[in-house]
Structure 1
Amino acid sequence: MNIITEDQIRQNVRSRYKEVALQGITSSSCCSTEVNCCETSVAFDSESGKLGYSTDELSSVPVGANLGLGCGNPQAIAALKSGEVVLDLGSGGGFDCFLAAKQVGDQGKVIGVDMTPEMISKARLNAAKGGFTNTEFRLGEIENLPIPNETVNVIISNCVINLSPNKPQVFKEAYRVLNSGGRLAISDIVTTAAELPTEIKNNIEDMYSGCISGASSITELETMLKQSGFIDISIEPKDESKEFIKDWVPGANIDKYIVSAVIKARKQ
């Protein structure tokens, strides 16, 4: 993939999520091809419940932080501890950051990085509304993190890395900013078919920005993580996620080709 194509992908993704941020509405997940839908916070909470978020978690974040984006609940698998520094790759409106912030407490810190300026503004506004003083939101690309070396304990991410046109670089950057013993706890989409259908694979406008055609296989992800230096790699597909994935693109049967997975790894 050449640089121009990578830039086109980033611009397409950035444009889509700018629209989500400005409208404050989306469809039932980040992985739908529809952006302009008449969803409400109640509908978002209902969909997020299917991803593993509890009622208490959903009610503990500022109104407007949950944009219905994601394919799992990464902070629930991260085993966060008080005082840890957490980095969220593709933090959106700050939803997972605010949940993580409650777990790490006042002695900890949560940093969200997003490449969409409108999302950063929205997250900062949500942080102010919720009185969160241990969160920080930085504009940047996850392939080039605005984070110093070895300053993070845990990296979380929710259905975002599949959107990157240069995933090996994402994992190299993740490894760079993690402390020794630091860990990844990611929810993302993986492919379950040998190859995606051409009409899905080549549809950058909708299917890529909708978290579908940019997905990698488990084998590919394992290779990327190993080459970046990670150990204790675990990628666990969640077959039950097909129940909500099938609704992302009605009639396209995409649940035959992708599934949500829990991805964990550690820096030695």
Structure 2
Amino acid sequence: MHPAVRETYGPADLSGAPIFAGGFVNFGYWDAIDLGLPLSETERIRSQEDLYRRVLDATGPPRAAHVLEVGCGLGMGCEVTLREYAPAAVTGLDIHPDQLRRARNAHADLLRREPGRLRFVQGAAETMPAGDGEFDTVISVEAAQHFPDLRAFAAETRRVLRPGGRVAVTSFFTVDDLPGRPGELAELLETYANGLDIARPVSALADALLEDGFTHVRVESIGAHVWPGWDLWLSRWWAPGTWPRNFLRAYEHGILDYYLLTAERAG
């Protein structure tokens, strides 16, 4: 585990920061929110839930399915999945033991009330503690920017999916593979400078899925529904020109974007 990941999701507890209201840790999908009106925590939480809804809708109806979330954090997305999509079961996978402890505490009532429908396990995206073909659906919401090895993630995803199973990943990537992109992002954004986020083109994950035999690989930019709302929310704490506001700047300068990738495991 990279030291920045260990600190950010351990002692620093990013999920407890006001910018991530509700315990989710994602930038949000703001399509259904009027950005011309004042934003409250209600709209912020809605944006984070809507990002999960966007991902889950892209996988097809997960009813009766066994769903795996890779990089589940506090498991708030697992709870949304269970509550709104009624799958047979959801497994939340995270590499950080502190996050798993917080997830089990946050969902203690649900874990007791519906044993077997929700569980949290520790593991890395590149070495998932799951059986071959164990899941019908794999999702990952704003975690892939941390994964050290996207090819290993693609291979493990194929292994744990049943034939015909689907994967949906959403996160931020560089728009191309120009060699100067990592340096540009490190100058703009602290999370790239300290190694928390890894600068890679979206094609790196798409190609990894294709090379591992996935079909119907689709890449969709959803940045227009992410970056403006995220930047407006950040403006409550940070002034223009401060590094957190540079996410929008990197998007507007054609360096970084937010994507949704979907694919199907061949039979």
TM-score by length of 1: 0.74
C-alpha distance in 2, partners of 1:109/1:207?
A: 35
| CA apart distance, 1:148 | 0.8
| CA apart distance, 1:89 | 0.3
Contact 1:190 1:258 in 2 (8 A): yes
C-alpha distance in 2, partners of 1:236/1:122?
A: 32
Cα deviation code 1:131-185 (max 9, x no counterpart): 4531100011111101111110000110111211111101110001000000001
Which runs of no fewer than 5 residues in structure 2 stay unpaired?
28-38, 235-242
Alignment pair present for 1:231 and 2:210:
no
C-alpha distance in 2, partners of 1:233/1:219?
A: 11
Q: 1:70-81 counterparts in 2 under 5 A?
A: 73-81=54-62
Alignment pair present for 1:27 and 2:12:
no
C-alpha distance in 1, partners of 2:6/2:261?
A: 24
Alignment pair present for 1:206 and 2:201:
no
Tell me whether 241-250 or 89-98 shows the greater mean CA deviation.
241-250
Aligned to 2:4: 12
Contact 2:215 2:265 in 1 (8 A): yes
Aligned to 2:240: none
Q: 1:32-43 counterparts in 2 under 5 A?
A: none
| CA apart distance, 1:243 | 0.9
Cα deviation code 1:220-259 (max 9, x no counterpart): 2221111121110001011312314545712562223212
Tell me whether 184-193 or 74-83 shows the greater mean CA deviation.
74-83
C-alpha distance in 2, partners of 1:25/1:234?
A: 33
Q: Per the alignment, do residues 265 and 44 of structure 1 end up closer, same or farther by CA in structure 2, a change over 3 Å counting?
A: farther
Q: Per the alignment, do residues 127 and 30 of structure 1 end up closer, same or farther by CA in structure 2, a change over 3 Å counting?
A: closer
Q: Aligned pairs, how many?
A: 233
Q: Per the alignment, do residues 267 and 208 of structure 1 end up closer, same or farther by CA in structure 2, a change over 3 Å counting?
A: farther
Q: 1:244-255 counterparts in 2 under 5 A?
A: 244=229, 246=231, 247=234, 249-251=244-246, 253-255=249-251
Aligned to 1:196: 181
Aligned residue identity for 1:97: C
C-alpha distance in 2, partners of 1:26/1:242?
A: 18
Q: Per the alignment, do residues 43 and 17 of structure 1 end up closer, same or farther by CA in structure 2, a change over 3 Å counting?
A: farther
How big is the alpha-carbon RMSD for the aligned residues of Structure 1 and Structure 2? Answer: 3.1
Alignment pair present for 1:160 and 2:152:
no
Alignment pair present for 1:46 and 2:31:
no
C-alpha distance in 2, partners of 1:203/1:140?
A: 31
Contact 1:86 1:154 in 2 (8 A): yes
Contact 2:150 2:204 in 1 (8 A): no
Identity of aligned residues (%): 20
Aligned residue identity for 2:142: C
Question: Alignment partner of 2:107: what SS?
Answer: helix
C-alpha distance in 1, partners of 2:250/2:139?
A: 25
Aligned to 1:173: 156
Q: Per the alignment, do residues 135 and 176 of structure 1 end up closer, same or farther by CA in structure 2, a change over 3 Å counting?
A: same
Aligned to 1:83: 64
Which runs of no fewer than 5 residues in structure 1 stay unpaired?
1-6, 33-41, 54-69
Aligned residue identity for 2:181: L
Contact 1:73 1:158 in 2 (8 A): no
Aligned to 2:260: 262
Aligned to 1:102: 83
Question: Alignment partner of 1:225: what SS?
Answer: helix
C-alpha distance in 1, partners of 2:189/2:227?
A: 22
Cα deviation code 1:20-56 (max 9, x no counterpart): 5487225358579xxxxxxxxx955433433562xxx
Q: 1:136-151 counterparts in 2 under 5 A?
A: 136-151=119-134
TM-score by length of 2: 0.75
Tell me whether 71-80 or 196-205 shows the greater mean CA deviation.
196-205
Aligned to 2:103: 123
C-alpha distance in 1, partners of 2:41/2:124?
A: 26
Q: Per the alignment, do residues 44 and 266 of structure 1 end up closer, same or farther by CA in structure 2, a change over 3 Å counting?
A: farther
